[in-house]
Amino acid sequence: MKITDVTVTLFKWDNIPMKNYDHAVNATHSSSDLGFVCIQTDEGIEGHALLGICLHPASLEAPFLIRFLKPILMGQNPLDRANLFERMSRLRAQVSTFAVCAVDVALWDLAGKVSGLPIHALMGTYRQKIPVYASSEQHDTIDGYVEQALAVKERGLHGYKLHPPQNWRDDIAACEAVRKAVGDDFNLMLDSRSAYDLGEAVKVGRAVEELGFLWYEDPLPITDIYNYTKLREKMDIPVMATEFPCGWLDDYAPWIMNKATDMLRGDVMIKGGLTSMLKIAHLAEAFAMNLEIHHGGNSINDVANLHIQMAIPNTSFMEVLLPHETWWHGLVEEIQIDSDGFAHAPSKPGLGYEIDLELVEKQKIAVLS
């Protein structure tokens, strides 16, 4: 089997709810574009993925995917994923993890279709379902967090993570109000999105520790390994870093060796695909650490994340970033969460979820090949 073509069909995404998640990450535009990535073979079997997110249109990445990654793929056996990933990952100066992710996910989708197995079964299935928690946008008022947290609990989900106002006093107040509203038996997490210096981080950390939060995520600047190490020494609550500074497997080494985080963080988009995430999961497991998986930025990436979560022992939850409409678009059917708050292992070959090709054609902007 040989790869005969790689294309990216750009299609428009309109009516995106505009939300803020921190002072820098703002979904301020109501439209973006996604890319339908299609890897074709001489046996007629295709691998599919989506490129782009609401905040980062596929049109920014697709030209580099075609220029730099397509030549690596053409004429190659698509089942040689490890070799192809290694070659793609050497082009860090030319392409982002976003583009590598889209190609890698499409290759895994293709392999699953060839074998007749879902991706998690190719990796080796560990579980059939996983509990889901919801992750907030920023709210203008404390009441906004309280109302959303109560709705999440009522829906049957297994936790609620705050993206707070990013002023340490206001952040503590929001956490206190949410804990009071949902009670002591509901999982809460805080993701401060690098809002604090060390002194502020200690104050907030001690507060959420007292409130019984499950973890304390990204309180300090993303590359501040030195102060993360100091913070972790002062905290009993697990401290989580490594979502953004670690784009590739070897980027994790200084965080682990300096004992700067209690858990590893990642998702297929930021880390370069399923191949990379599987390596990171095994790295974490070797140090008795969890790899808690961040939302994937678009619908197919969250499906890819779900396959990883079904295949590894050292992860606890699936994350859903609210509202769904800001992040999920382009599938015939989105991931379903049952009434008990669980997402289930896909059962169909490959990714097991279909990209809406009628929508792609209707909203098509251009085809890059």
78/84 Cα distance (integer angstroms): 8
Q: What is the pLDDT of residues 250-268, one digit of tens each?
A: 999 999 999 999 999 999 9
Residues 6 or more apart whose CB falls under 8 angstroms from that of 78 comprise 1, 2, 3, 39, 41, 47, 84, 107, 110, 111
Are 46 and 167 contained in the same domain? no
Q: Quote the tokens at residue 172.
A: 């503590």
pLDDT digits (tens, 9 = 90+) for 197-227: 999 999 999 999 999 999 999 999 999 999 9
How far is Cα 329 from Cα 339, in angstroms, rounded to an integer? Answer: 22
Nearest alpha carbon to residue 346 among 130, 51, 49: 130
**What's the pLDDT score for residue 20?**
87
Is residue 18 included in any domain, yes or no? yes
pLDDT score recorded for residue 27: 57
Average pLDDT over every residue of 99-128: 98
94 and 239 housed in the same domain: no
User: Cα angle vertex 314, ends 312, 320, to 5°?
Assistant: 85
pLDDT tens figures, 284-329: 999 999 999 999 999 999 999 999 999 999 999 999 999 988 999 9
Domains held by the chain: number: 2
**How many residues appear in the chain?**
369
CATH of the domain at 59: 3.30.390.10
- Pair (132, 101) in one structural domain: no
Residue with tokens 């490129």: 51
Is residue 298 in a domain?
yes
Strands (E) located in the chain: 3-13, 32-41, 46-51, 129-135, 160-162, 188-191, 216-217, 239-240, 264-266, 291-293, 318-321, 342-344, 364-368
- Pairing relationship of beta strands 318-321 and 129-135 according to DSSP bridges: parallel
Whole-Å CA distances, 224 to 199, 204, 231? 14, 17, 11
- The pLDDT of residue 213 is 98
226 plus 330 within the same structural domain = yes
The pLDDT tens digits of the residues spanning 326-353 come to 999 999 999 999 999 999 999 999 999 9
Residue 72 lies in a domain: yes
Query: Is the domain of 89 the same as that of 134?
Result: no
Do 99 and 153 fall into the same domain?
no
Residues 124-163 pLDDT 10s = 999 999 999 999 999 999 999 999 999 999 999 999 999 9
In this prediction, residue 135 carries a pLDDT of 98
Residue (of 249, 218, 311) closest to 25 by Cα position:
218
Asked if 318 and 306 touch (Cβ cutoff 8 Å), the reply is: yes
Single pTM value for the model: 0.97
- 149 inside domain: yes
Q: How many CB atoms lie within 10 A of CB 313?
A: 9
Range of the domain at 281: 121-344
Q: Does the pLDDT at position 117 exceed 70?
A: yes
286 and 309 part of one domain:
yes
Looking at the structure, do residues 181 and 89 belong to the same domain, yes or no? no
**In terms of domains, do 126 and 106 share one?**
no
The answer to whether 304 touches 296, Cβ cutoff 8 Å, is yes
Of all helices (H) and strands (E), which one includes residue 266?
A: strand 264-266
- 79 and 111 fall within a common domain: yes
User: Both 195 and 307 in a single domain?
Assistant: yes
Query: 167 and 79 in one domain?
Result: no
| d(C-alpha 300, C-alpha 295), whole Å | 11
Residue 352 lies in a domain: no
pLDDT at 263: 98
